[in-house]
A and B are shown apart, each in its own frame.
Chain A
Amino acid sequence: MSKQQQHWEKTRMLLFITLAIWFVFSIGIFFFGAEMEASSIRPLGYPLSYYMTCQGSLGIFVILIFWFANRQEKIDEEFGYTEREDD
């Protein structure tokens, strides 16, 4: 496998992991709205269903994007595809 193919393999893996986490917090948990509401897990005292829609999922998305960007930069570095500063 060429260097470029390996780079793309790793990039794709990262994409799948990112999308899996995204799926859980944007779609997956909302299949269980009623269960979340009844749950005894109450972040900061809010009902879990309310908390996830107000802050929980939203905050996770912010962190997820920065995490994804860091990982992708590492992959690019590993294969020497990092951009030059003056690009």
Chain B
Amino acid sequence: MFKGKFIDNLPKIYGTYTGGFIVFIILMAIAEQAGMSAKLIGIFFVAFTVLIYALIGYLSRTMQTDAYYVAGRQVPTVFNGMATAADWMSGASFVAMAGGIYFKGYGYMALLVGWTGGYVLVASLLAPYLRKFGCYTVPDFIGTRYGGNMARLSAVIVLTVASFTYVTAQINATGTIASVALDIPFEIAVYVGLASILMCSMLGGMRAVTWTQVAQYIVLIIAYLLPVFWISNKMGAGVFPHFMLADEVARIAELEAQFGLGEIKNSAADLKQVPKGLAGITKAHAEVNTTPWKFISLAVCMMAGTASLPHVMMRYFTTPSVKAARRSVGWSLFFIFLLYSSAPMLATLSKLSLMDPNLATGIIGKSITEVQAIDWYQNWNQANLMFVSDFNGNGTLELNEFFMGGKAVVLATPEIAGLPYVISGLVAAGGMAAAMSTADGLVLAISNALSHDVYYKMINPKAETAKRLIVARVLLVLIGFAGATIAALEIQGILGSVIWAFDFAMSGLFFPLVLGVWWKRANAQGAVAGMLGGLIAGTAYLIAVRSGYPGFWGVTQLTFGIVGSLVSLVLMVVVSLMTKAPDAATQRMVDEVRIPSGKAILGKQH
């Protein structure tokens, strides 16, 4: 069916795959009509997609270092864009983002701006230059550019702290979705999630992760966009929701005023009845509800963090050329944009369908007993994601008496809007794809840094290829298990730890990476001081704020990267200037990195 080289056949292969997935959705819809149970549909969706990813992972197995670490550097621009988008959009983006917008409005949108604006920094400051360098990992760049094991090791430490914080959240998310869809306890579901993640990455490293991530992107984008368009059309809100929801946004503002949003406050005793993790609508949907500095500081942290997170950066090491790396960043952001610009629309549709008394789905203003009898309310109430209570005893559900979990906006809206269950199954598969793809990228980033930079470059430089790749795989499994064990303890929420990961990465790596390309005078001593000093300062500030210190400049535990990165910048510049300039060979190396043509600094196999 597919003649010639694999790479040349990619559009055909993934076209067939997409078609096959759509046929599968239709078959499931037919099965639902024929009476298949909702639970079985959910199991089919998750199990079928995960098996496909595992199959791709198996077919991409390899015993070559450049295939294992950088997918053989032959991933075409557009496909690398899709893989990066999947790598990037985590369980938090997929499941929690629309919910965040639903509850927090404008203030939360700083994350949207930050998580997209960061790609401009990636494209202009870093990706093409690191691609030219020809490194396998981010610490590989730091170690070669600055020279010395100390710089390399510092980069590995920052990478591990940031990525590990992030990966526990992702394994947690795969566990949550697997436990709901497959109906198994969370503690077991976490390890089921882990097994699926390892199946995709263990045999083929970056090559396997690349081709599964493309497949995962296709599933997750269909799973996100299909319900948004369907609900919008069903409600009569607009054929193309992104361009046509202005009336709905205005209508929500009207209803907020009508229902007395912000005027009626719940007492502390009333709020105690509300299950943990659920929230009511307390902020206006589209109003500017935060100070400029709060908005901007959060956006800045997310942008600088984006440009420093190694699992994103290493995706651009896999393109065939520098030019392709640059364009590939544009495609990545385009594919991310498709989902991010849909999240506010989903939040709008979800809110309106619950609030508007003119719609059949509206519940505010109905009698409490009537709402409590609705099927979907009972389901989601049981799942601990919805709650109503008649605080004022008037028998009617008021806006301040309705509570929902953040995940419910994505997970429950299709059901509330009256879409068939097959869509909910599809959404579960999409969430699983989003969480798995990010977890894969992160686990691989950590284990590659440990196997390539610590084991091969520092401990045993004479190791043979086979031995290196076995070490890499053993580390991959160990890190996966460590992540799953911590995830099973459920210490932090998903979104909080994701934001921390950005702050950690920004604190330790942003300036050492950027100055490595853009400032020739930067040397090893400065870089080490910058990486370790920044990481320590950021962490200390985080700990201080969490234990009661009020903080300064309005920097909170979500934006501690500002403190960390400033310390990092100052230390790096001061220490660099106080010590000897890098030698002529290093300066020549930086000159080489700055032009796209010619040989890579590091050889093809190293």
Tell me the A residues contacting B by CB distance below 8 Å. 4, 7-8, 11, 15, 18-19, 22, 25-27, 30-34, 36-37, 42, 44-47, 49-50, 53-55, 57-59, 61-62, 64-66, 68-69, 72-73, 76, 79-84, 87
Contact = CB atoms under 8 A, between A and B. Distances in A.
Interface of B: 106, 109-110, 112-114, 116-117, 119-121, 123-125, 128, 242-247, 249-250, 286-288, 290, 292, 295-296, 299-300, 303, 320-323, 326-327, 329-330, 333-334, 337, 340-341, 344-345, 591, 594-597
A69 B123 contact: yes
A4 B591 contact: yes
Nearest to A43: B246
Contacts of B250: 45
Contact of A46 (B112, B246, B329): B246
Contacts of B119: 61, 65
A76 B344 CA distance: 39
Given A66-B330, A83-B323, A54 B243 contact: no
Given A44-B246, A62-B330, A33 B288 contact: yes
Nearest to A31: B292
Contacts of A11: 594
Nearest to A3: B595
B120 A49 contact: no
Describe B's contact surface by its main secondary structure. helix
Contacts of B330: 62, 65-66, 69
Contact of B326 (A25, A57, A69, A81): A69
A82 B324 CA distance: 12
A62 B595 CA distance: 24
Most buried by B among A11, A26, A64: A26
Contact of B249 (A8, A46, A57, A66): A46
A77 B511 CA distance: 29
Given A61-B116, A72-B326, A31 B296 contact: yes
B120 A58 contact: no
Contacts of B245: 46
A44 B292 CA distance: 24
Contacts of A58: 112-113, 116, 337, 340-341
A26 B110 CA distance: 9
Nearest to B297: A27
B288 A81 contact: no
Contacts of B247: 45
A68 B247 CA distance: 36
A3 B133 CA distance: 21
Nearest to A28: B296
Given A18-B124, A81-B597, A84-B597, A57 B113 contact: yes
A6 B287 CA distance: 48
Contacts of A53: 106, 109-110, 112-113, 344
A43 B362 CA distance: 28
Given A42-B246, A58-B112, 12 more contacts: A7-B594, A8-B594, A26-B113, A27-B296, A30-B113, A37-B287, A44-B244, A57-B113, A61-B119, A61-B120, A69-B330, A83-B596
Contact of B334 (A47, A62, A83): A62
A56 to B, nearest CB: 10
A72 to B, nearest CB: 6
A50 B344 CA distance: 9
A22 B295 contact: no
Contact of B292 (A18, A30, A55): A30
A30 to B, nearest CB: 5
A34 B288 CA distance: 6
Contact of B123 (A31, A65, A80, A82): A65
B106 A26 contact: no
Contacts of A55: 242, 341
A34 B124 CA distance: 31
Q: Considering residues A11, A36, A46, A53, which has the most beta carbons from chain B within 10 angstroms of its beta carbon?
A: A53
A52 to B, nearest CB: 8
B337 A22 contact: no
Contact of A83 (B113, B120, B322): B322
B117 A57 contact: yes
B596 A30 contact: no
Contacts of A18: 120, 124
A51 B323 CA distance: 32
A10 to B, nearest CB: 11
Contacts of B295: 30, 33
A36 B288 contact: yes
